[in-house]
Structure 1
Amino acid sequence: MTDVIVGLDAGGTKLGVRVVSLDGSRIADVSLPAEDWSASPAGDAARWLVERIRRVVAPGDQVVAVGVGAQGCDTVEHCHELAHELTALGYRSAVVNDAALLVPAAGLETGIGVIAGTGSIAVGQDASGETLFTGGWGWVIGDEGGAPAIVREATIAALAARDDGLPDDGLLSGLQQAFGVDSAPSLARAVNDTPTPENWGPRAIAVFAAADAGSALATAVIDRAAEHLAALVGQLVRRGAVGDSVVAAGSVIANQPRLLAAFSARVAAAHPSLGVVLLEDAPVAGGVELARRLAASGTHGTSAD
Structure 2
Amino acid sequence: MKVLVGADIGGTKLAIRVAAPDGAVRVDVEVPSTGWEAAPVKEAARWLLDRVGPVLPEGDEIAALGVGAQGCDTQEHCARLTAAFEALTVPAAVVNDAALLIPAAGLDSGIGVIAGTGSIAVGADAEGTVLFVGGWGWVLGDEGSAPAIVREAAKAALARQDEGREDDGLLSELLAHYGAADAPELARAVNDSPTPATWGPAAPAVFRAAAAGSASALAVVDDAAAHLIALVSRLRTRGAVGQTVVAAGSVVLGQPLLADRLRDRLAAAQLDLTLRLLDVPPVAGAVALARVRYGAEGAAA
TM-score norm. by structure 1 comes to: 0.97
Instruction: Write the letter of the residue equivalent to 2:231.
Output: L
SS at 2:213's partner residue? Answer: coil
1:37 maps to: 36
2:176 maps to: 177
SS at 1:298's partner residue? Answer: helix
1:153 aligns with 2:152: yes
2:53 maps to: 54
Instruction: Write the letter of the residue equivalent to 1:165.
Output: G
Contact 1:102 1:247 in 2 (8 A): yes
Contact 2:113 2:246 in 1 (8 A): yes
Q: What is the CA distance between 1:86 and its match in structure 2? A: 1.2
Which whole-Å CA distance do the structure 2 matches of 1:225 and 1:291 have between them?
Answer: 33
1:234 maps to: 233
Name the CA shift for 1:248/1:54 in 2 (closer, same or farther; >3 Å).
same
2:127 maps to: 128
Which whole-Å CA distance do the structure 1 matches of 2:297 and 2:3 have between them?
Answer: 14
How many equivalent residue pairs?
A: 300
Which whole-Å CA distance do the structure 2 matches of 1:271 and 1:67 have between them?
Answer: 34
Which whole-Å CA distance do the structure 1 matches of 2:268 and 2:183 have between them?
Answer: 38
1:190 aligns with 2:210: no
5 Å-filtered alignment, 1:1-305, equals: 2-298=1-297
Which whole-Å CA distance do the structure 1 matches of 2:53 and 2:297 have between them?
Answer: 23
Name the CA shift for 1:292/1:174 in 2 (closer, same or farther; >3 Å).
same
SS at 1:134's partner residue? Answer: strand
Which whole-Å CA distance do the structure 2 matches of 1:180 and 1:66 have between them?
Answer: 45
Contact 1:92 1:300 in 2 (8 A): no
Contact 2:79 2:94 in 1 (8 A): yes
Contact 2:233 2:271 in 1 (8 A): no
Instruction: Write the letter of the residue equivalent to 1:32.
Output: V
Which whole-Å CA distance do the structure 2 matches of 1:208 and 1:21 have between them?
Answer: 41
Which whole-Å CA distance do the structure 1 matches of 2:226 and 2:298 have between them?
Answer: 42
Q: What is the CA distance between 1:36 and its match in structure 2? A: 2.0
Which whole-Å CA distance do the structure 2 matches of 1:23 and 1:259 have between them?
Answer: 37
Which whole-Å CA distance do the structure 2 matches of 1:143 and 1:56 have between them?
Answer: 32
- How large is the Cα RMSD of the aligned pairs? 1.1
Which deviates further from its counterpart, 85-94 or 142-151?
Answer: 85-94
TM-score norm. by structure 2 comes to: 0.98
Percent of residue pairs identical = 59
Which whole-Å CA distance do the structure 2 matches of 1:158 and 1:272 have between them?
Answer: 33
Q: What is the CA distance between 1:271 and its match in structure 2? A: 3.0
Instruction: Write the letter of the residue equivalent to 1:78.
Output: H
Which whole-Å CA distance do the structure 1 matches of 2:299 and 2:69 have between them?
Answer: 20
Q: What is the CA distance between 1:299 and its match in structure 2? A: 6.4
Q: What is the CA distance between 1:298 and its match in structure 2? A: 1.9
Instruction: Write the letter of the residue equivalent to 2:238.
Output: R
